[in-house]
Amino acid sequence: MLSVRAQEMDKKYLSSITSKEQIDVNKEGIYCLDRWDDWGFFIDGVKCFVWNFKYHTKIMLPYFHHYHYWITEVLKCVVSPSTYEYFPYDDEYLCNVSLFFREERYCLICCPPYYKKWVKVRLYDYSRLVDAVTFCNGEKICTLFQDGKLGTIQMIPEITTSTCLSTFTFRAPTDVSALYRNRHLVSWQDQLFLVQRKVGSPSIFEVWEADFETKQFNRVFNLEGFIIFLSGQFSAATYSSLPQENNNIYFTQCNDHRTLYVFHVGDQSLSTTKQFRICSSHNSFPLFDRSGRAKIRHNTSIAEDKLKRRPSGIKSKPAPVVSNICIHISLDLQSEISRYLISQEAYMSFRLVCKLWRSVAPPLRWKVVVDGDAAPSYDQDSMWLLSLNQKDGLCTFYNPFRNFNCYMSNNDLVGCEIRYAKDGWLLVSKGKSLFLLEPSPSPSRKQIIHLPQKRYDYLCDIMSFSASPTNSSEWVIFGIALLNVFQVRISYLRQGDDRWTCITRDSEVPFLLSSSSPVYFSEEFCVIGQNGDVGVFGFKDRTPYWIIHELFQQYSPRIYGACRLFLVQHDQNVLHSVVVTPQHDVHVYELDFGSNIIVKIVKEVKNWLFFTSEASSVAVCGMNVNVDNAVFFPTFNTCNDYTYYSLEDVAFKVLKDNCTDKTQQKELLNRVWIRCELTGN
């Protein structure tokens, strides 16, 4: 217990390092590393301090050797609330500052009441730190490490030299050998979330909530009243009641702080948005602000009175029900009604009413199209966009030309993820298991080929196969994982192999995988990188090889920022790359890997339609629809109308009325295009 004299001296010290002054936070040489509420932590040359944006209170922090290198060495700065009040003002609370470094196995913490020193807290020795976040209103700081270990630092009642990192008894659901585009701990009120997105396909965000009672993480598909912001190492959550913001993750990509993306957790869609502004200077972490007049409310819980309707005492006699409504509706009208049953439950209930309604709302039958025997044209019912509900294995087939959904339940797909689709077959993963599946509503017609177990817990970022088992007796399955920008791990399985072959190959130039699956072209697997380069894997005399074609300098316009890239095989001898910019401009290029590598922009693909997604790409010629020379993505506008990109009009268009679409586009992730045919029962 400090004496009265010691307390007075401490207060005098705090008064000596405290001042009231205006600060230009955008001034060159001043760096803001983090902000909580009204408090921010700044480095200015050889000085560091905390500053209150509201009251303009500046508190100098103690010197620590080499802290002029902190700007580049700090992995994460966490400014968190403290229970201590600043003594001249009863309503002004102080803050804690915690610094976590890229290479050091300790963190530094400076805290009230007097900010006298930086305290070292030891972290794990054998695992790299990934993220740290304040939790439980500043009572703790939670840490996440590369191997999935979690730890906490108890901030209350105070930080001392004996403070240490406490370990969790359970780990985060993260893959040790996988590379991630994003991996963050996010706290919201008394909840802790892990938000992560891997390199490769599907490029979706996974949201997991920590359950401290059962000591496990549970997958979350509904954020229930709050939204998440991510940028670099920065993460935050805030309350939102606006319907257009519900269940969203807002984030920036690469070093582009001008474009704000939004991922909708429910329908797993990706788009850009202007709902928020990104306020970021050259020397500060990004801040987000609404573009409209509504203000963001942080960490607020609203208690609303819920009105309960009381049942009236009047009992009315139910109206008589017509036992068979089918006889009063024409067959054409019944068929038209079925086309507007968007939800899965409504469509399936419709088919259960009677035999007649089952005939006008048919299930999906598969007719695999083999290229060698392909018909000269296909009607509007031959191309479908497939999405999978992992919880119950229900497959939704969407026809963009008729704006029509069909459904097929398949118990084999419960808990699975579709990695690639080709020739009517799906490459599917479930945990450590992989299998090829040719789905069918009839169990007797369904075909499954179970593949050998993975050799690694995390096998591949992206995968594909050369041909379907019904189309070739020498099919090959190929997968690739990025170990670092100069090294990849390649896994392949040839027909008849009893185990996966995994090899590591060096890349002569930096190569970052895009989220588009490989394409089998000219007996090689082609993989497009984020800058447009193409990696090629194949066999020469059964010996595997890996080379990279450097193409990025030949693209015009040049590829920059966070573009979406896809490969499409056009006919048997032509390979195209499709580039989608953050501004929703689309460019198609023809690639030639001959003696002279050529990248040529393509203005038209007459009589052809390109269907692309992360896990599938199909080029179809002579399709019997009133659209050609176009690229079909899994894209919809804000009115949920399907949109495609017209190369002739150089614009996205709404398919249903063929008009140019001026609204925002959203891309549905984790979907595949398939070619099949509808028939009746």
Q: What b-and-e string marks burial along 41-52, b requiring 16 or more CB atoms within 10 Å of the CB?
A: bbbeeeebbbbb
pLDDT tens digits, 181-225: 999 999 998 899 999 999 988 899 999 999 999 999 999 989 988
pLDDT of res. 293: 40
How far apart (Å, rounded) are the C-alpha atoms in residues 58 and 19? Answer: 5
Name the strands in the sheet holding 383-388, side by side, starting at the edge strand that comes first in the sequence: 404-409, 394-399, 383-388, 671-675
CB 672 within 8 A of CB 421: yes
Which band of pLDDT confidence, cut at 50, 70 and 90, is reported for residue 443? Answer: low
pLDDT of res. 194: 97
When mean pLDDT is compared across 383-387, 407-411, 508-512, 564-568, the lowest value belongs to: 407-411
How far apart (Å, rounded) are the C-alpha atoms in residues 386 and 443? Answer: 19
How far apart (Å, rounded) are the C-alpha atoms in residues 235 and 469? Answer: 46
Tokens of 470: 């019904």
Which band of pLDDT confidence, cut at 50, 70 and 90, is reported for residue 354? Answer: low
Name the strands in the sheet holding 30-36, side by side, starting at the edge strand that comes first in the sequence: 18-20, 57-60, 47-52, 39-44, 30-36
Q: ∠ CA(661), CA(203), CA(660), 5° rounding?
A: 5
Tokens of 310: 């009381």
Q: How many CB atoms are closer than 10 A to CB 365?
A: 17
How far apart (Å, rounded) are the C-alpha atoms in residues 651 and 429? Answer: 36
Instruction: Evaluate if residue 677 carries a pLDDT over 70.
Output: no
When mean pLDDT is compared across 335-344, 427-436, 519-528, 582-591, the lowest value belongs to: 335-344
pLDDT of res. 378: 61
pLDDT of res. 565: 96
Element (H, E) at 12: helix 4-16
How far apart (Å, rounded) are the C-alpha atoms in residues 572 and 614? Answer: 21
Q: What b-and-e string marks burial along 399-412, b requiring 16 or more CB atoms within 10 Å of the CB?
A: bbbeebbbbbebee
Q: What is the DSSP letter of 529?
A: B
DSSP helix/strand/coil, 331: helix
CB 26 within 8 A of CB 11: no
Instruction: Select the more confidently predicted residue: 672 or 622.
Output: 672
How far apart (Å, rounded) are the C-alpha atoms in residues 307 and 63? Answer: 58
Element (H, E) at 359: helix 355-360
DSSP helix/strand/coil, 594: coil
pLDDT of res. 679: 53
How far apart (Å, rounded) are the C-alpha atoms in residues 581 and 560? Answer: 8
Strands 462-465 and 476-484 come out as: antiparallel
**Taking residues 528-542, what's their average pLDDT?**
94
Instruction: Select the more confidently predicted residue: 501 or 369.
Output: 501
Tokens of 515: 């989220």
For the entire predicted model, the pTM comes to: 0.84
pLDDT of res. 660: 81
Q: What is the DSSP letter of 297?
A: B
CB 616 within 8 A of CB 623: no
Strands 256-264 and 248-253 come out as: antiparallel
Q: How many CB atoms are closer than 10 A to CB 469?
A: 15
pLDDT of res. 482: 92
pLDDT tens digits, 596-649: 889 999 999 988 999 999 999 999 988 888 888 999 999 998 888 999 999 999
Residue 7 half-sphere exposure, CB side, CA atoms within 13 Å? Answer: 5
How far apart (Å, rounded) are the C-alpha atoms in residues 65 and 56? Answer: 27
How far apart (Å, rounded) are the C-alpha atoms in residues 641 and 177? Answer: 39
pLDDT of res. 519: 96
Q: What are phi and psi of 564, to 5 degrees?
A: -100, 130
Q: What is the DSSP letter of 467?
A: S
| CB-based burial label for 478 (10 Å; 0-12, 13-18, 19+) | buried
In percent, the amount of the chain with pLDDT more than 90 equals: 47
Which band of pLDDT confidence, cut at 50, 70 and 90, is reported for residue 445? Answer: low
**Taking residues 534-540, what's their average pLDDT?**
96
Element (H, E) at 16: helix 4-16
In percent, the amount of the chain with pLDDT more than 70 equals: 82
When mean pLDDT is compared across 75-79, 369-373, 438-442, the lowest value belongs to: 369-373
Q: What are phi and psi of 325, to 5 degrees?
A: -75, -20
pLDDT of res. 28: 82
E-strand ranges in 485-615 read 487-494, 501-506, 519-521, 524-528, 534-540, 543-549, 564-570, 574-580, 586-592, 598-602, 608-613
pLDDT of res. 680: 47
pLDDT of res. 309: 31
pLDDT of res. 340: 55
pLDDT tens digits, 563-575: 999 999 987 789 9
Instruction: Evaluate if residue 557 carries a pLDDT over 60.
Output: yes
Most confident of 260-264, 561-565, 664-668: 260-264
pLDDT of res. 301: 34
How far apart (Å, rounded) are the C-alpha atoms in residues 397 and 487? Answer: 38
**Size of the chain in residues:** 681
CB 616 within 8 A of CB 673: yes
Instruction: Evaluate if residue 321 carries a pLDDT over 50.
Output: no
pLDDT of res. 552: 92
Most confident of 62-71, 174-183, 442-451: 174-183
pLDDT of res. 344: 44
Instruction: Evaluate if residue 246 carries a pLDDT over 90.
Output: no
Q: ∠ CA(536), CA(539), CA(544), 5° rounding?
A: 80
**Taking residues 87-108, what's their average pLDDT?**
82
When mean pLDDT is compared across 55-69, 477-491, 594-608, the lowest value belongs to: 55-69
In angstroms, how far is CA 655 from the centroid of its own chain?
A: 27
